[in-house]
Amino acid sequence: MKRTTLLGIAVLLVAAVAALAWTLAPRLAASGASATAASAPGAGPAVTVTTVAARREDFALELGATGTVSALNRVEIHPQVSAAITRVHIREGQTVQAGQPLFTLDSRAAEVRVTQAQAQLQKDLATLADAERQLARSRDLLRQDFVSQSAVDTNLSQVEAQAAVVAADRAAIQAARVDLGYARIVAPSTGRVGAIAVYAGSYVTPASPALATVTQLDPIAVSFPVPQRHIGALLASLKSGSGRVTAQLPDARGTLTGTLQFVDSAVDANAGTVQVKAQFANPKQQLWPGAYVDVKLAVGSLPGAILVPQAAIIQGAQAKSVYVVGADGKAQLRTVDVVASAGDVAVVTGVQAAERVIVDGKQNLRPGSPVVEQAAAPSGAASRPGRRAAAASGPQP
């Protein structure tokens, strides 16, 4: 009886184990398949990424620098004579034209000197006329043998001496008129008047501080340093007149385009740069002397360059790389060299034109990962033509 009971219990246990194995077999098979798939390289769920097609186009190289705005012409107004100011014709900040009156000085003393010089001239002219008559009379008497030749020579010397006195009188009149002209101070050039340091009634001398300054604002210049390795390109641009310089206005108010005007004759040995100057039309006075401004100077181009967004570049410990989407729809890691860059675009080697470069989502990738592509916004860097390289990121040596 006991044996029969034990045999029945054993049969029931075997049946229960078989039923349990039958139930768990599909789950164990699925779990094994998942583990096998997970161990395969590059497998896993597809990663959503944003891509931009690499473009081939000419890439203009530009040197970027911070320049200093300076006036082409800045004149300090000083009096040439000592006198009191009788009238101020201008106000601070006013724009004046060349020849426009600025100050009037007390000219009464100068007018008196002119009158005195003219009176002295008339007196000496009368004396000269008398000497000439004496010379003519002595010559008549010489022909009649009433006087000697020495008497005639004496009269001739008197005439010549008096003629020199008359010439000196005329020069004195001119000098007096020049002094009189100094009483009227006019603008030497077109420009903007700075602070005025005097008022009507102020007594000024040539040694006094400047009465005012007149600064030319249109056109205006921007000076900035350029690395010495670009001197050849600078001189070529200066000679051909093709040097175009772009200045970024403050507060992102746009840009102004000027021309290269000057390359300095010496290199700064400490900085390894040469100073250059560009000239800009400034009718709206958007550039102000003494201000700093970011400038870019075109120095060449890279024809047929491959452009990708800088956001796509991965900086590794040894090299730079980008992810591209292969023909099989999986991510491929490419090592690249950055030749030049500007803003959000870079010129690289190692990528072909039209290859789809992954910009966003690359942090979730590994080589061989399947991807689901989304096109980047139209403002993507590689989709915009005509991008230019900044100075600090020009062609790598």
Question: How far apart are the C-alpha atoms of 374 and 354, rounded to whole Å?
Answer: 15
- Percentage of the chain exceeding pLDDT 90: 52
Q: Measured between alpha carbons, how far is 260 from 221 in angstroms, rounded to an integer? A: 10
- Whether residue 102 contacts residue 178, with contact meaning beta carbons closer than 8 Å, is answered with no
- Summarised one tens digit per residue, pLDDT across range 27-70 is 544 444 344 333 444 456 888 899 999 999 888 777 888 999 99
Q: How far apart (Å, rounded) are the C-alpha atoms in residues 242 and 239?
A: 8
Residue 104, both tokens: 């009037």
Is the dihedral angle over the CA atoms 337, 341, 343, 346 positive or is it negative? negative
Query: Model confidence at 397, in pLDDT bands (50, 70, 90)?
Result: very low
Residue 209, beta-bridge partner list:
none
CB–CB of 257/310 below 8 Å? Answer: no
Question: Domains of the chain (ranges plus CATH)?
Answer: 47-59+302-393 (2.40.420.20), 64-71+216-301 (2.40.30.170), 73-106+183-215 (2.40.50.100), 107-182 (1.10.287)
pLDDT attached to residue 382: 45
Q: Environment class of residue 247 by beta-carbon count within 10 Å: exposed (0-12), middle (13-18) or buried (19+)?
A: buried
Q: Which of 68-72, 143-147, 189-193, 351-355 has the lowest mean pLDDT?
A: 143-147
The pLDDT of 327-356, averaged and rounded, is: 89
Q: What is the pTM of this model?
A: 0.60
**Cα(369)–Cα(361) distance, rounded to whole angstroms?**
12
One-letter amino acid at 300 equals G
- What residue type is 281 in one-letter code? A
pLDDT tens per residue, range 204-248 = 999 999 999 999 999 999 999 988 888 888 888 888 877 889 898
Mean of pLDDT values over 290-302? 85
